Structure 1
């Protein structure tokens, strides 16, 4: 019996130390992010963190009281000490107590929780709005009050993914074009999808919203400090779900304004260049050089650099009917619009007319296909507009 007493005492001591230690770690530095939520970079994320710690502390307190009473009762009222079990059935006071006390605890928890949730959903009085569209497997950002829009794709080297190079510090959390927002301003996000359900998640903003096709969900953030904030798609959306990161750069308002003005100028020049290309023809050398670059960046991962694809998974382009038939319309259409029910995505919004013309020309003349056909931007534009 003495051994049992010692075991019970040790169990009680271990429970108290575990609860106290866990609480101390969780309430400590944000650097211990693997054990707890991070405070984040916004006022809302701080409120979420404080709410989490409040709920955690209440749960720990309840656990200490309940398990403490249980272990103390087991120790003080054990059979070896001659304790006799009580014989009773009802106790109105106890029943009232264990009903009222949990009710009051829930009310105490509900008030701050409701306040935080209401603040998280309040997207009114935003300084700027960004339309976030998920598609397999990339993000598209459109600044609703400026003439800027672009796709954001994974930038991690394929050699790292294939374990040929060592993993980088931000492995699978790098993009070619991050979302840029100003500090000190309320940014409203309109979140939707082109195909399946995605989820736009940035932990430091306490923002995680599903991107549902045909629906628009809203979220917002207000970042006070410049910096780089990373996230990813948090909804299983297909084979490349793990290759769909989110990177947001918060800049000072003056730097942001300079950046967005530069992007408007670049995209305006690109549209003017496309219009110029519609009235002229590109040489085969120019088309093949540009087409090879685009193919290696956007197509080679699936169809392979040699155009032979992966049998049973991704079709070959080398010697295929699509890439060698006389009429290139079907070839242009599938690059523009993708193919429903397959992993072939639409590149009509991601690539320019020049890039699509170049990559189709490359696919129809590389690896021995040698159709001799040159696809010009005007040809792509005719298919895209149905003319």
Structure 2
């Protein structure tokens, strides 16, 4: 005896007695429509979300409605096809004395099974085409933002505004290595989220610095590849304030899973306040960097800050212990430019400008002068390197200016 359960709660018992199978199959199909109708409802529950998200934009709602329309069409086709098939099996079985017909070709049947699918495809293509055209129409935007992917972070630049920043994974190495409890938004939190206003059409210009990435936020129905050397366009208009999360949806390297996206949608007034405050903060940071050029930080200050910067920016490749990954990322502990007193300038240059032909990025545009000086100092004195060298903001600025130390 077998028991089958369906979402609508219908229970069908199939017994192995001759003739009983016909009754139980009928019971099964009598409960099937109710079970299928319950699927979208069950899919939207918090217990088991198997369906697409309706999202928070007009386009995302249209995508969801299109998905449900096509799903219902497929369900109807499945019921019709399998219904006819099982009806034919049951009513033309040998035990009822049915004799197989002998026929070859039928123009009428050929026309029917060609025309009906053609009509169904046309009916499906009309709403699908309309939705796709709406998804690609990024004209007449109110705000334009350049989104640049790199291993493994996102960079956002607001056009016509003096605002740009990098957005990095905020989940700590300790959580990833199970040394601390994982937070609710584990691997889906960043240090600086993208902030957008509600009710405004935002155009995204999406590209990449290195390999192919993909900027994907399900609530906006936006998923667009970031290709190096090319710019792809996407857009959104958010209807509700809130926090929306996404991820890089392209396999972009070993830390692909550490490249989340967080968008905070604010009311227009709150967005304007954030934008103005960010402009002021970034201007103050630039002014502070210029003041740092005449200052010297102590070894303790440099090592403390350098350890923090290294842990968030460098450890994923070179590892917390500086041992690197053989064949992929070189070790910094006890070897290379980080321990050679004569290559202090080269060490700074590699961190600031990156290294062509390798995965080493240019951190000059990503970090402040203070952070760059601190992390180079840390690498030259951590893990037993103990060179005793300190690097100051002025030293980093000299490299940026193309001067010798």
Question: Shared topology, TM-score over 0.5?
Answer: yes
Structure 1 match to 2:392? 376
Note closer, same or farther for the CA distance 1:305–1:163 as it changes in structure 2 (3 Å cut): closer
1:245-303 C-alpha deviation (Å, 9 max, x unpaired):
11111011100110011111111111122223334444444433332332233234444
> Counterparts of 1:1-387 in structure 2 under 5 Å?
3=17, 5-11=19-25, 13-14=27-28, 17-18=31-32, 20-27=34-41, 30-31=44-45, 34-309=49-324, 314-325=329-340, 326-340=342-356, 342-387=358-403
**Cα distance in 1 between the residues matched to 2:26 and 2:71:** 20
Please tell me the root mean square deviation across aligned C-alpha atoms, in Å.
2.3
* Mean CA deviation greater in 103-112 or 297-306: 297-306
Equivalences, count: 386
- The answer to whether the 8 A contact 2:155-2:166 is kept is yes
* Mean CA deviation greater in 243-252 or 22-31: 22-31
Note closer, same or farther for the CA distance 1:340–1:239 as it changes in structure 2 (3 Å cut): farther
1:140-180 C-alpha deviation (Å, 9 max, x unpaired):
11111211111111111322211233332211111111111
Instruction: Give 3-state SS (helix, strand or coil) of 1:159's partner.
Output: helix
- The answer to whether the 8 A contact 2:173-2:311 is kept is no
- CA positional deviation for 1:89: 1.8
* Mean CA deviation greater in 124-133 or 28-37: 28-37
* Mean CA deviation greater in 287-296 or 94-103: 287-296
**Cα distance in 1 between the residues matched to 2:118 and 2:236:** 33
- The answer to whether the 8 A contact 2:245-2:261 is kept is yes
- CA positional deviation for 1:181: 0.4
Instruction: Give 3-state SS (helix, strand or coil) of 2:334's partner.
Output: coil
**Cα distance in 1 between the residues matched to 2:75 and 2:24:** 19
Instruction: Give 3-state SS (helix, strand or coil) of 2:306's partner.
Output: helix
**Cα distance in 1 between the residues matched to 2:33 and 2:177:** 43
* Mean CA deviation greater in 49-58 or 285-294: 285-294
For structure 1, the 5+ residue unaligned runs are: none
Note closer, same or farther for the CA distance 1:239–1:4 as it changes in structure 2 (3 Å cut): farther
* Mean CA deviation greater in 279-288 or 141-150: 279-288
Note closer, same or farther for the CA distance 1:368–1:62 as it changes in structure 2 (3 Å cut): closer
- The answer to whether the 8 A contact 1:138-1:153 is kept is yes
For structure 2, the 5+ residue unaligned runs are: 1-15
- The answer to whether the 8 A contact 1:338-1:345 is kept is yes
- CA positional deviation for 1:384: 2.6
**Cα distance in 1 between the residues matched to 2:27 and 2:80:** 13
**Cα distance in 2 between the residues matched to 1:15 and 1:244:** 46
**Cα distance in 2 between the residues matched to 1:336 and 1:230:** 31
Instruction: Give 3-state SS (helix, strand or coil) of 2:276's partner.
Output: helix
TM-score with structure 1 setting the length: 0.92
